[in-house]
Structure 1
Amino acid sequence: MKNRTSVLIVGGLIILALIGIVGSITANPAGFIQKIAIMALIGFAIFFVVRKFSNSSPQKKDQRAFLKAAKQSKKRLQNKSGEPNLKSSSLGPIATLKKNKSKRKPPAHLTVIDGKKGKKKNRASL
């Protein structure tokens, strides 16, 4: 076994931790519960502070925009492949044209990135 010493060290630390926890519970149970509660509160406070600052990153906004676009395209595909409504089929193509004109697409929030258009590629001549 290659990592026998590391297994023994980790096992020893776990056993010492369990002995310390049992000793703390038997000596002062109220103090032990209080310490655990304080550690949990501090952990939750740190978690929420980190989460609040990490949510404002642009990557999260891009991810939300991507998920929204995916839902819209999924809904659009389901509408195209689904069964036609009885109302639209009975009214004919005129009603569908009027219906399509009244719908407006939400503006696409896309930006154009200008690349190196003027630079020619370095190609080897054969």
Structure 2
Amino acid sequence: MKNRTSVLIIGGLVILALIGLVGSFTSNPAGFIQKIAIMALIGFAIFFLVRKFSNSGPQKKEQRAFLKAARQSKKRLQHKSGDSNTKSSLGPISPLKKNKTKRKSPAHLTVIEGKKGKKKNRASL
């Protein structure tokens, strides 16, 4: 019984909205199209603002970390493949390149000390 009343109420609201839209369109078509365009632009603006500020969670950080790792891997592969070709063709390395120190990003890994030497007491058959 409750489902039937809610369907009737929602159906009535939809019918009234359609009647209002048709009436507005027939009385002033240019104004109707302008209002629809303005509502669509405002909707898109709100959508993009919400999307921009809500995606600052872990997915975005993981994506940045993945892209950084991919760049480092690509650079390492290019360095290995181009290492034999560049040394023979370029000759001595300039002093500016020797003095540059390469900073590595810290690995956020820790070693967990545990009871590695202790064996489990298992029942033997």
Return the TM-score normalized by structure 1. Answer: 0.54
Supply the distance in 2 between the matched residues of 1:104 and 1:29 (Cα, whole angstroms): 66
The one-letter code of the counterpart of 1:42 is I
Amino acid paired to 1:103: T
Structure 1 pair 70/100, CA: closer, same or farther in 2 (3 Å)? Answer: farther
The residue that corresponds to 1:73 in the other structure is 73
Please tell me whether residue 41 in structure 1 is matched to residue 60 in structure 2.
Answer: no
Q: Which runs of 5+ in 2 are unaligned?
A: 1-17
Following the alignment from structure 1 to structure 2, what is the Cα–Cα distance between the partners of residues 40 and 113? Answer: 54
Residues paired across the two proteins, number: 101
2: CA distance, partners of 1:56 / 1:67 = 16
Cα shift at 1:100: 6.3
User: Which residue matches 1:107?
Assistant: 105
- Tell me how far 1:105 sits from its aligned partner: 2.8
SS in 2 for 1:84: helix
Structure 1: give runs of 5+ residues left out of the alignment: 1-16
1:59 to partner: Cα distance: 2.2
Determine the C-alpha separation between the residues in 2 that align with 1:23 and 1:123: 83
> Normalization by structure 2: what TM-score?
0.54
RMSD, aligned CA: 3.9
Provide closer, same or farther for how the CA distance between residues 84 and 123 of structure 1 changes in structure 2, counting only shifts above 3 A: farther
2-structure distance, mates of 1:110, 1:37:
50
- C-alpha distance in 1 between matches for 2:123 and 2:50: 52
Partner of 2:51: 51
* Inter-partner Cα distance in structure 1 for 2:121 and 2:49: 51
For 1:23 and 1:122, the matched residues in 2 are separated by 84
CA distance in 1, matches of 2:41, 2:27: 23
CA–CA distance in structure 1, aligned partners of residues 121 and 30 of structure 2: 76
